[in-house]
Amino acid sequence: MNISEIAELFGIKITSAEKIKSGHINQTCLVTADNGERYILQSINSQVFRRPETIMANIALAEKAFSVSETGMVKLPHYLTADDKNYAAADGKIWRIYSFAESKSNEKNLYFTGLSFGTFIRLMSGVKLAEEPAIDNFHSYRTYLARLEKMTDSVEMVRYRKLGNLLESVFTDNACRRVIHGDAKTANVIIGDYCTIIDLDTIMPGLSLYDFGDSIRSSAVTVDETEKDLSIVDIDMELYENYTKGF
């Protein structure tokens, strides 16, 4: 099936489709319907997300939680349905289509990023997700450490093991687990007429500090998050405080 035929499964006819190259996981297109509305049409990468139906069930629960609550200026995209589901199977893939959110600000405003992810955690409190996680061991430090140990015997591994012991002493089994976004980067909040939280595939139980820390790590540092020279990495305290006030 071509893109137009897939879009018709969700009840819309499109007049144009443009591939979006900024994402690294899912095949994504920006499509325009014949009524002028724009949508994001995606196929889910089953090599990364092995339980796409679970992901979409969790997204449906999140959208429902937001629909019945006072969310202020924080929103989620609206997912269209096909045969009463928020996804459709075609050509061996799982497809979905949701409303496009346009950014109207090029500035890094961590207050609104913090507000968005903090609101998400608050509104999802008490929501029971699907039992299977979207991605196994996605926030497991020990899992990543074990993979790294198979690749290198660097002296740095001693420091990484100590860090693992420290994390386990702080984040014990008694720590309060909540429903979190799971990929809380600035790029996943579109600031326009509203603050729209996107990339909802990693919704899962976890610690709120996962979202808080991921936002700070990726957005409030003085260099790009991919910087390898750790000696020049620092925190911009103004950005940190703005995020904290919103969160």
Average of pLDDT values for 199-206?
Answer: 94
Q: How many helices (H) and strands (E) does the chain have?
A: 7, 10
Tell me the three state secondary structure of residue 98. strand
The number of beta carbons lying within 10 Å of the beta carbon of residue 194 is 16
Whether the Cβ atoms of residue 14 and residue 33 lie closer than 8 Å to each other? yes
Average of pLDDT values for 165-184?
Answer: 91
Residues 6+ apart with CB under 8 A from 116: 74, 189, 195, 197, 246
The number of beta carbons lying within 10 Å of the beta carbon of residue 27 is 14
Highest mean pLDDT among 74-83, 139-148, 160-169: 74-83
Residue-averaged pLDDT of the chain: 91
